[in-house]
Amino acid sequence: MGITRRSIVVLVLVLAMAESFAEGLFLGRKTVSVESELKEPLSVHCWSSDDDLGLHVLEEGQRISWRFFDSFFTRTRFFCFMTYGDDRKVVGSYPIYDSEVDIAPFPCQRVCRWMVNNFGLYTYDVSTDKWAFIYSWPHDNKPRLFPTPSLPFETYP
């Protein structure tokens, strides 16, 4: 039983489709992390419509991270509620990831890194190798589901 030219063409096409599928499946996975640069403990509770990641308390230099695939049929969004300070008086609720809207002025690729300090939240810009300031803590310490971004770009819907 010999290998025909047609068999080779079919095999090459099947391998190309399998590679394309695997690339979409594995390279399409996103990783989001939130790290604390606060001197005080930071309480972080993140969730999406499908997943509740629970409450985490981060000390300075610690981070939480999670991996997921964007939903094929619906919008994928993650939010994080954060508090720190004496009696947890500094509070904020922030959109951290959205598959349809770039939260930062540059798109989140496969890895989305966030850093929290006394001024607010920063996201890492791979193209400049720097942290970019995105959200400040609410001045009245009342949590908002959709805060006003600190940088001028399309507002969050």
Angle at 151 between CA 146 and CA 154, to 5 degrees: 60
Each residue of 9-60: pLDDT tens digit? 566 555 544 443 443 444 478 999 999 999 999 999 999 988 899 999 999 9
- Tell me which architecture the domain covering 29-136 has in CATH: Sandwich (2.60)
Indicate the domain borders of the chain.
29-136
Describe the chain by its helix, strand, coil percentages, rounded to 5: 15, 40, 40
Pairing relationship of beta strands 63-69 and 52-58 according to DSSP bridges:
unpaired
Residue 140, pLDDT > 60, answer no
Distance, CA of 149 to CA of 101 (rounded, Å): 13
pLDDT reported for residue 11: 60
Q: Token pair for residue 98?
A: 């959205």
Of residues 152 and 45, more confidence is placed in 45
Kindly report the pTM of this predicted structure.
0.70
Each residue of 75-118: pLDDT tens digit? 898 999 999 987 666 788 888 998 887 676 667 778 899 999 99
Question: Tell me, what amino acid is at 30?
Answer: K
